[in-house]
């Protein structure tokens, strides 16, 4: 979900499924394995999976693949509600890539995630006791303190936005989108860009307010006027989703958002430069932007930058460097990274030839829904002891 105040999704998690069966679990190395059969969850998707899986029969790892001109995604409504059909939605899984997923490789530290709740950096009022309680999960206290702050200071837009968040997500009881929208309006009237962004989202979904894409755009623009990065990113999306696509305008919005630190905007801008859409085509600039986002743990960028490194696209070819980025992405449970890494281990490209490590990542990627006949054909090459090692590695990965 593309929100400054957090992501309500676990799209990158790979958890073990509870089982009451007394019979031993089926080996995940069995060629007939289906998603979930070895204790792994069913197929889990992310935008990076738009890279096509490798074609069967290739004797070297195929790292490249078709890429759409712009990564698209889904803005997930709050809590358990489902997206409404026909509503244009926008996404930013940038936070997912650093807050969800598996354990990191040894020696690598997980970056700090942006806190859930309103982005108080965008508000005029400083963080107070209400926000402190919110951060600790004390939502009843947070609501009480925020209501008290708003009653004492009618200009406290930050407190009003926080109240809206609590009602919208039902953090103290049942969701109340009407009440949330009321508080967002009050905060927006007092100039809080986060409230304007929340109203834009509400109008996209018809949540507590009439569904109205035009009003959503209006509120995105209000937030963007105060340099709200996510609003700028979404305005870029709007510019290329209309009947008349304006890639130049979209590129301008993405540039502004990227300058403010929005990783999805940085990632999207990279493909504008790669494809010459809205900007002059520049492979080196595109790859540099991918690296910029990848180094800040943007999952899709990590994969695409690794692919660029492997193929020497916009930069000097570096198979070792490509492997390093793929390892990081694979540990965050990105199936494409797991599959490409498996192929590299199976072929000894960028890493030492290691069939056991190759099959480990292949089985995990396959359980995530990404099949590969070229790697399937190498499963029988494992010895019984090697199969046991892979089975155990897969099980450990699944429960982390």
DSSP string for residues in 366-385: HHTT---HHHHTTGGGS-HH
Strand, helix or coil for residue 400: coil
Strand, helix or coil for residue 243: coil
With 50 as the cut, is the pLDDT of residue 281 above it? Answer: yes
With 90 as the cut, is the pLDDT of residue 57 above it? Answer: no
| Angle formed by the axes of helices 247-259 and 229-241, nearest 10° | 170
With 80 as the cut, is the pLDDT of residue 97 above it? Answer: no
Domain ranges of the chain: 335-400
Q: How confident is the model at residue 2 (pLDDT cuts 50, 70, 90)?
A: low
Q: How far apart are CA 131 and CA 44, in angstroms?
A: 33
**E strand or H helix that includes residue 254:** helix 247-259
With 90 as the cut, is the pLDDT of residue 239 above it? Answer: yes
pLDDT at 78: 23
DSSP string, 22-90: -SPPPPTT-TT--TTTTS--S----GGGGSPPPPTT-SS--------SS-----PPSTTPPPPTT----
With 70 as the cut, is the pLDDT of residue 25 above it? Answer: no
Strand, helix or coil for residue 171: coil
Query: Average pLDDT, stretch 235-245?
Result: 91
**E strand or H helix that includes residue 365:** helix 355-367
Query: Average pLDDT, stretch 361-378?
Result: 94
Q: How far apart are CA 197 and CA 212, in angstroms?
A: 14
pLDDT at 81: 26
In Å, how far are 50, 156, 157, 182 from 186, measured between CA atoms? 41, 10, 7, 6
Q: How far apart are CA 342 and CA 306, in angstroms?
A: 14
Query: Average pLDDT, stretch 301-323?
Result: 95
pLDDT at 399: 80
Task: List the structure tokens of 332.
Answer: 């965050």
Task: List the structure tokens of 8.
Answer: 């309500």
| CB atoms near residue 106 (< 10 Å) | 5
Q: How far apart are CA 206 and CA 327, in angstroms?
A: 41
For residues 299 and 326, the answer to whether their CB atoms sit within 8 Å is no
In Å, how far are 24, 69, 299 from 332, measured between CA atoms? 28, 24, 8
Residue appearing with tokens 């192929």? 343
Q: How far apart are CA 72 and CA 4, in angstroms?
A: 17
With 70 as the cut, is the pLDDT of residue 374 above it? Answer: yes
CA 176 to chain centre: 27
Residues 105-146: pLDDT tens digits? Answer: 444 443 333 333 334 333 444 447 999 999 999 999 999 999
With 50 as the cut, is the pLDDT of residue 259 above it? Answer: yes
């Amino acid at each position: 979900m593309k929100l400054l105040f957090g992501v309500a999704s676990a799209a990158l998690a790979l958890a073990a499924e509870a089982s009451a069966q007394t019979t031993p679990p089926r080996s995940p190395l069995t060629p007939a394995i289906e998603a979930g059969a070895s204790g792994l969850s069913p197929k889990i998707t992310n935008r990076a999976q738009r890279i096509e899986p490798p074609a069967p029969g290739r004797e070297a790892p195929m790292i490249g693949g078709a890429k759409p001109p712009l990564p698209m995604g889904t803005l997930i409504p709050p809590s358990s509600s489902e997206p409404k059909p026909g509503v244009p939605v926008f996404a930013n899984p940038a936070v997912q890539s650093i807050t969800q997923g598996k354990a990191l490789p040894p020696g690598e530290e997980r970056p700090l995630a942006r806190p859930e709740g309103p982005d108080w950096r965008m508000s005029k009022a400083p963080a107070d006791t209400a926000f402190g309680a919110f951060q600790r999960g004390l939502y009843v206290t947070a609501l009480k303190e925020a209501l008290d702050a708003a009653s004492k200071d009618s200009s406290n837009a930050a407190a009003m936005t926080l109240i809206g968040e609590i009602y919208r997500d039902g953090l103290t009881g049942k969701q109340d989108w009407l009440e949330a929208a009321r508080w967002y309006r009050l905060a927006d009237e007092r100039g809080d860009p986060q409230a304007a962004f929340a109203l834009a989202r509400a109008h996209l979904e018809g949540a507590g307010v009439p569904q109205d894409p035009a009003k959503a755009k209006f509120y995105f623009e209000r937030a963007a006027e105060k340099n709200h990065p996510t609003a700028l990113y979404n305005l870029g999306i709007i510019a290329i989703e209309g009947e008349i696509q304006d890639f130049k305008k979209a590129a301008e919005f993405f540039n502004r958002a990227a300058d403010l630190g929005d990783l999805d905007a940085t990632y999207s801008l990279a493909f504008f430069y790669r494809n010459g859409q809205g900007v002059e085509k520049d492979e080196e600039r595109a790859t540099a932007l991918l690296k910029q986002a990848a180094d800040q743990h943007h999952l899709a960028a990590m994969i695409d930058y690794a692919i660029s490194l492997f193929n020497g696209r916009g930069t000097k070819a570096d198979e070792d460097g490509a492997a390093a980025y793929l390892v990081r992405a694979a540990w965050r449970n990105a199936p494409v990274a797991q599959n490409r890494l498996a192929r590299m281990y199976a072929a000894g490209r960028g890493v030492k030839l290691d069939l056991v490590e190759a099959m480990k990542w292949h089985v995990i990627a396959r359980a995530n829904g990404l099949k590969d006949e070229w790697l399937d054909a190498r499963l029988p090459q494992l010895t019984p002891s090697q199969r046991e090692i892979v089975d155990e590695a897969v099980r450990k990965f699944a429960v982390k």
